[in-house]
Structure 1
Amino acid sequence: MNDELVIPAAPPDRVLDLFGGIRLTPTQRRIAHCLVQHAASAAYLSAAEVADLAQVSQPSVTRFAIALGYDGYPALRRRLREVTLTDPGSPTDGGNELQRAVRAESANLDRLAEQLADPGRIAGAGALLATSRPLPVLGLRAAAPLAAYFAYFAAKVHPDVRVLDTGGSLLADRLEQARAAGATALLAMVLPRYPRESLDALREARDAGLRIVAITDSPVSPVDEYAEIVLPASVGAHLVFDLHTAPMALAMVLLQAICDAAPADAQHRLEAFEASAARRQLFLT
Structure 2
Amino acid sequence: MSGEQVMDGNTNTGVPDSPAARLQALFEGHRLTPTQRRIAHSMVRRAADVPFLSSVELAELAGVSQPSVTRFAVALGFDGYPALRRHLREVAPVEQRAGTASYNEYQQAVEAEIANLRHLSELLADPRPVHEAGRLLAASRPLPVLGLRAAAAQAYGFAYFAAKVHPDVRLLDEGGTMVHDRIDGAERAGASALLCFALPRHPREVVDTLAYAKEAGLTVVTVADSAFAPVAKVSDLLLPAAVGTGLAFDTACAPMLLGRMLLEAMCDDLPQAQARLEEFDARAAARGLFVE
**Same fold per TM (> 0.5)?**
yes
2:243 corresponds to:
235
Question: Structure 1 residues 267 and 23, CA, compared in 2 at 3 Å: closer, same or farther?
Answer: farther
RMSD after superposition: 3.0
1:183 corresponds to:
191
Match of 1:165 among 173, 195, 205: 173
1:219 corresponds to:
227
Q: Does structure 1 residue 148 correspond to structure 2 residue 156?
A: yes
Q: Please say if residues 144 and 172 of structure 2, whose CA atoms lie closer than 8 Å, have aligned partners that are also in contact.
A: yes
Report the alpha carbon displacement of residue 277 of structure 1 after superposing the two structures with TM.
1.2
Q: Please say if residues 27 and 56 of structure 1, whose CA atoms lie closer than 8 Å, have aligned partners that are also in contact.
A: no
1:199 corresponds to:
207
Match of 2:276 among 254, 269, 277: 269
1:40 corresponds to:
50
Match of 1:74 among 67, 71, 79: 79
Q: Mean alpha-carbon deviation: is it higher for 190-199 or for 103-112? A: 103-112
Kindly report which structure 2 residues correspond to 1:96-135, keeping only aligned pairs within 5 A, or say none: 96-135=104-143
How many residue pairs were aligned?
269
Partners of 1:105 and 1:260 lie apart in 2 by 28
Q: Please say if residues 188 and 213 of structure 1, whose CA atoms lie closer than 8 Å, have aligned partners that are also in contact.
A: yes
Describe the superposition over 1:210-232 as per-residue Cα deviations: whole angstroms up to 9, x where unpaired.
10110010111111101111111
Partners of 2:100 and 2:188 lie apart in 1 by 49
TM-score computed with the length of structure 2 as normaliser: 0.81
SS in 2 for 1:168: coil
Unaligned runs of 5+ in 1: 1-9
Q: Mean alpha-carbon deviation: is it higher for 25-34 or for 147-156? A: 25-34
1:7 corresponds to:
none
- In structure 1, give the amino acid aligned to 2:89: T
- In structure 2, give the amino acid aligned to 1:265: Q
Q: Please say if residues 51 and 88 of structure 2, whose CA atoms lie closer than 8 Å, have aligned partners that are also in contact.
A: no
2:95 corresponds to:
89
Describe the superposition over 1:101-132 as per-residue Cα deviations: whole angstroms up to 9, x where unpaired.
11211111111111111111110111011100
Question: Structure 1 residues 157 and 40, CA, compared in 2 at 3 Å: closer, same or farther?
Answer: same
Partners of 1:63 and 1:11 lie apart in 2 by 19
- In structure 2, give the amino acid aligned to 1:106: I
Q: Mean alpha-carbon deviation: is it higher for 17-26 or for 237-246? A: 17-26
Describe the superposition over 1:167-211 as per-residue Cα deviations: whole angstroms up to 9, x where unpaired.
110111111111111110000001000011111111100111110
- In structure 2, give the amino acid aligned to 1:82: H
- In structure 2, give the amino acid aligned to 1:182: G
- In structure 2, give the amino acid aligned to 1:283: F
Q: Please say if residues 43 and 77 of structure 1, whose CA atoms lie closer than 8 Å, have aligned partners that are also in contact.
A: no
Partners of 1:42 and 1:139 lie apart in 2 by 34
- In structure 2, give the amino acid aligned to 1:258: M
Q: Please say if residues 94 and 100 of structure 1, whose CA atoms lie closer than 8 Å, have aligned partners that are also in contact.
A: no
Report the alpha carbon displacement of residue 144 of structure 1 after superposing the two structures with TM.
0.4
- In structure 1, give the amino acid aligned to 2:137: L
Partners of 1:12 and 1:30 lie apart in 2 by 15
Q: Please say if residues 212 and 227 of structure 1, whose CA atoms lie closer than 8 Å, have aligned partners that are also in contact.
A: yes
Q: Please say if residues 186 and 211 of structure 1, whose CA atoms lie closer than 8 Å, have aligned partners that are also in contact.
A: yes
Match of 2:286 among 267, 279, 284: 279
Structure 1 or 2, whichever has the larger Rg, is 1
Question: Structure 1 residues 284 and 20, CA, compared in 2 at 3 Å: closer, same or farther?
Answer: farther
- In structure 2, give the amino acid aligned to 1:161: V
Partners of 2:185 and 2:79 lie apart in 1 by 51
Unaligned runs of 5+ in 2: 1-17
Partners of 1:171 and 1:125 lie apart in 2 by 22
